């Protein structure tokens, strides 16, 4: 391209001479960067026009000799920018041409190609370029020449690339990914998944789980500046993992990628070739690992082999697999938003699976999906409701296998057990940890780098093939057998190199006793048991003592009340005697009134109509004399005294008024004296009946009230 323009003496006045179109922004950006390096001694101007950048900024600067762009943004300038002209175009370059001319870009590319001058040179580049005539005609090729660097090679992919695959169900993939990263901490790894949402979720999750190397993400929904920054950062990293969608699968030239891991099966062979092409570039070596589900294994491997792609099954040491489901669940509950991301990742994976099913029903067998198990593996305790999937099944008259999950798990469990016994194929690496993960068949001591709590936590993540519940003592025993050195702090730098602790940091760990002693722990628990029993005995004794004291106090209280009652009875009698003594005094009128008062008991009896029963049972009920009857008696006496006092005051006043009527008073006195004996008798009888009745009726609180009422009525009538 540079040569062509140079030979034609192209300069700034000639305008746009060459147009390079790429399907992704990253690729356009990379080409622009390379062009700046390669063409730095030329005077041609070059421009980069990609989506996600400032349109107005591009508007003014689009008048250049070489333009690198993505289809969408180029079409936007073609239609909106009057300054943009393609009249003099000499060369059109379509990088990843098969993709540019595919369905996804069909409309935009048709419009662009329709605007370009027909007299031009057209170059189409792709690792998977077909000789599809229709596409070549669309691109404006006349008498096309096909050039291929691998035309005579036996395999489609580079010889320096080692390709292998593993088989895991959807629900086991996340465990496998984490385990893989933990065993390849010193490598540069590119992980491909199907959708942006999956990239986002796995990136956020693994940022919390910390697999031991720098975690990065690249997908189409990211801000463009961030996309470029991530791409640059990953290019410059020696050890890191980049989770990406197919946006990073084509054309990108990332230096020294060690592994390309395809966590989700690619939709077609083309995608597979482009993805694995990110490693083993030019003369360097690289490895590619494909994760297939049990239902995908046979059809996908057959297809790959039919397309001259040499791929072998790799066997993973089951003992080295880490079960992170508990950790994923806890992170989902801890971090808000992560659960939503998991749900979105789940839905998008299913949707994408269905989409791929339409293209390749054998590899993407929708009925083999175990949605529940997959949801659990993403940390979702409840499988998200997804009406799209139901509709899809209905529309395609498909039925899910009911027992897929159980059979899958059993099958994978068996596979893990079997594979652990047999030796593995494949990867030859200097890294011990990788060998253990992919090759190891003998048990090795577990390497740890944290405190005992973390180690226990970490160890609990390991898959227990028998699916038994791991007790703490079981784990402790295991750790002891494996000679794990506890409480030894190990620190690594960003590159994974071991750092030496300074003295202060080492001192901070001095007080901690290393190791787990089960004997000591048992002794401690026994001592705790004895102490607990002692405490319990003391507690029961104290409880009994308090109960006794309470009972005693209650009895004493009852006794005191009975005594008080006796005293009051005596006082009543004294009071009556006093009445007798006062006969000679002026208060005789008071006594007369009292004696003339209606008997409240009679009134009460009349009202209640229960006198007969109370009389008959009086003796028995007297024995059951209780607190409430004492209280009632007290109240009654108090009321009576108050009334008497009132009456006495009134009488005194009346006496003063009636001083002159002394004769009449004297007569009354005499009369009262005569009646006294008889009345007293009657009074005593009434008192006894009243007492019996009160005892019998101690449940009724209306006695004193009725008594009061009658007394008050009487007083009102007499005053």
Indicate the length of the chain as a whole number: 719
DSSP 395-432: HTT----TTHHHHHHHHHHHHHHHHHHSPPP----S-H
Nearer to ligand ATP, 251 or 600 (CB): 251
CA separation, residue 664 to residues 62, 337, 587 (Å) = 138, 105, 15
Report whether 16 contacts 49 (CB < 8 A): no
Contacts with 74 (C-beta within 8 Å, 6 or more apart), sequence order? 19, 21, 49, 67, 108, 112
Q: Which of 351, 377, 383, 379 is nearest to 364 (CA)?
A: 351
Token pair belonging to 370: 């175990």
Nearer to ligand ATP, 30 or 419 (CB): 30
CA separation, residue 241 to residues 206, 214, 226 (Å) = 10, 6, 16
- Cβ at position 150, least distance to ligand ATP in Å: 10
Q: Which of 651, 686, 705, 687 is nearest to 572 (CA)?
A: 687
Nearer to ligand ATP, 60 or 131 (CB): 131
Nearer to ligand ATP, 282 or 467 (CB): 282
Nearer to ligand ATP, 251 or 266 (CB): 251
The C-alpha atoms of residue 687 and residue 600 are separated, in whole angstroms, by: 11
β-sheet bridge partners, residue 244: 192, 218
Nearer to ligand ATP, 253 or 646 (CB): 253
Binding site for ligand ATP (CB under 6 A): 127, 251, 253, 277, 281-282
The C-alpha atoms of residue 351 and residue 344 are separated, in whole angstroms, by: 10
Other beta carbons within 10 angstroms of residue 126's beta carbon come to: 20
- Nearest-10 Cα torsion for 360, 366, 368, 374: 120
- Cβ at position 277, least distance to ligand ATP in Å: 5
Nearer to ligand ATP, 253 or 615 (CB): 253
Sign of the torsion angle spanned by Cα atoms 135, 138, 144, 150 = negative
- Cβ at position 250, least distance to ligand ATP in Å: 7
Nearer to ligand ATP, 279 or 695 (CB): 279
The C-alpha atoms of residue 181 and residue 183 are separated, in whole angstroms, by: 5
Nearer to ligand ATP, 234 or 346 (CB): 234
SS3 labels along 424-479: CCCCCCCCHHHHHHHCCCCCCCCCCCCCHHHHHHHHCCECCCCCCCCCHHHHHHHH
- Cβ at position 154, least distance to ligand ATP in Å: 19
Report whether 515 contacts 477 (CB < 8 A): no
β-sheet bridge partners, residue 191: 243, 261
Nearer to ligand ATP, 127 or 648 (CB): 127
Sign of the torsion angle spanned by Cα atoms 409, 415, 418, 420 = negative
- Cβ at position 255, least distance to ligand ATP in Å: 7
Nearer to ligand ATP, 40 or 282 (CB): 282
β-sheet bridge partners, residue 491: 499
- Cβ at position 253, least distance to ligand ATP in Å: 4
Nearer to ligand ATP, 253 or 655 (CB): 253
Contacts with 83 (C-beta within 8 Å, 6 or more apart), sequence order? 59, 60, 62, 63
Token pair belonging to 311: 């791929």
Sign of the torsion angle spanned by Cα atoms 421, 422, 424, 430 = positive
- Cβ at position 188, least distance to ligand ATP in Å: 14
Nearer to ligand ATP, 285 or 665 (CB): 285
- Cβ at position 266, least distance to ligand ATP in Å: 15
Helix (H, G, I), strand (E, B) or coil at 184: coil
- Cβ at position 291, least distance to ligand ATP in Å: 22
């Amino acid at each position: 391209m540079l040569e062509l323009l140079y030979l034609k003496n192209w300069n700034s006045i000639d305008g746009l001479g060459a147009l390079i179109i790429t399907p992704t922004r990253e690729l356009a950006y990379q080409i622009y960067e390379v062009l700046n390096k390669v063409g730095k001694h030329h005077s041609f101007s070059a421009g980069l026009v990609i989506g996600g950048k400032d349109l107005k900024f591009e508007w003014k600067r689009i008048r250049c000799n070489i333009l690198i762009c993505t289809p969408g943004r180029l079409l936007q300038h073609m239609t909106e920018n009057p300054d943009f002209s393609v009249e003099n175009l000499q060369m059109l370059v379509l990088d990843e041409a098969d993709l540019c001319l595919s369905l996804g870009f069909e409309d935009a590319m048709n419009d662009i190609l329709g605007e370009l001058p027909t007299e031009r040179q057209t170059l189409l580049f792709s690792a998977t370029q077909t000789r599809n005539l229709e596409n070549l005609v669309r691109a404006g090729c006349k008498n096309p020449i096909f050039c291929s660097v691998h035309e005579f090679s036996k395999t489609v992919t580079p010889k320096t690339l080692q390709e292998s695959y593993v088989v895991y169900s959807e629900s086991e993939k996340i465990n496998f990914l984490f385990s893989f990263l933990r065993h390849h901490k010193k490598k540069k790894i590119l992980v491909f998944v199907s959708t942006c949402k999956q990239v986002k979720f796995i990136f956020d999750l693994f940022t919390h789980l910390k697999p031991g190397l720098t975690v990065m993400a690249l997908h189409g929904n990211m801000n463009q500046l961030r996309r470029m920054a991530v791409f640059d950062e990953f290019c410059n990293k020696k050890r890191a993992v980049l989770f990406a969608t197919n946006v990073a699968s084509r054309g990108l030239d990332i230096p020294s990628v060690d592994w390309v891991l395809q966590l989700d099966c690619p939709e077609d062979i083309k995608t597979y070739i482009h993805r694995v092409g990110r490693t083993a570039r030019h003369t360097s070596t690289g490895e590619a690992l494909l994760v297939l589900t049990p239902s995908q294994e046979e059809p996908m491997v057959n297809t790959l082999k039919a397309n001259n792609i040499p791929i072998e099954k790799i066997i993973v040491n089951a003992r080295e697999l880490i079960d992170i489901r508990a950790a994923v669940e806890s992170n989902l509950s801890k971090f808000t938003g992560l659960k939503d991301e998991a749900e979105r990742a789940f839905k998008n994976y299913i949707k994408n699976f269905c989409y791929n099913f339409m293209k390749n029903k054998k590899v993407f067998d929708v009925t083999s999906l175990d949605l529940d198990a997959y949801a659990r593996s993403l940390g979702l305790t409840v499988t998200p409701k997804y009406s799209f999937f139901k509709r899809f099944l209905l529309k395609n008259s498909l039925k899910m296998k009911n027992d897929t999950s159980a059979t899958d798990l059993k099958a994978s469990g068996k596979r893990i057990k079997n594979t652990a016994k047999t030796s593995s194929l494949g990867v030859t690496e200097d890294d011990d940890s990788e060998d253990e993960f992919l090759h190891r068949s003998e048990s090795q001591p577990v390497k740890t780098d944290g405190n005992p709590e973390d180690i226990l936590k970490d160890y609990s993540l390991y898959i227990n093939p028998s699916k038994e519940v791991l007790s703490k003592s079981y784990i402790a025993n295991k750790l002891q057998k494996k000679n794990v050195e506890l409480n030894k702090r190990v620190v690594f730098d960003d590159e994974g190199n071991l750092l030496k602790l300074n003295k202060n940091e080492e001192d901070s760990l001095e007080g901690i006793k290393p190791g787990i002693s089960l004997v000591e722990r048992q002794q401690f628990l026994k001592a705790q048991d004895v102490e607990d029993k002692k405490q319990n005995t003391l507690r029961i004794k104290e409880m009994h003592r308090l109960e006794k004291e309470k009972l005693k106090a209650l009895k004493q209280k009852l006794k005191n009340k009975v005594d008080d009652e006796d005293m009051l009875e005596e006082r009543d009698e004294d009071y009556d005697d006093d009445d007798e003594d006062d006969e000679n005094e002026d208060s005789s009128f008071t006594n007369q009134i009292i004696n003339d008062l209606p008997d409240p008991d009679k009134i009460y009896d009349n009202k209640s109509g229960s006198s007969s029963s109370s009389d008959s049972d009086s003796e028995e009920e007297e024995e059951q004399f209780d607190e409430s009857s004492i209280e009632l008696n007290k109240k009654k006496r108090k009321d009576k005294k108050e009334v008497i006092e009132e009456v006495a005051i009134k009488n005194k006043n009346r006496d003063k008024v009636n001083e002159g009527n002394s004769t009449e008073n004297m007569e009354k006195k005499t009369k009262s004296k005569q009646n006294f004996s008889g009345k007293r008798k009657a009074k005593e009888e009434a008192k006894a009946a009243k007492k019996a009745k009160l005892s019998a009726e101690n449940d009724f609180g209306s006695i004193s009230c009725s008594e009061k009422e009658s007394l008050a009525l009487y007083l009102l009538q007499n005053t």
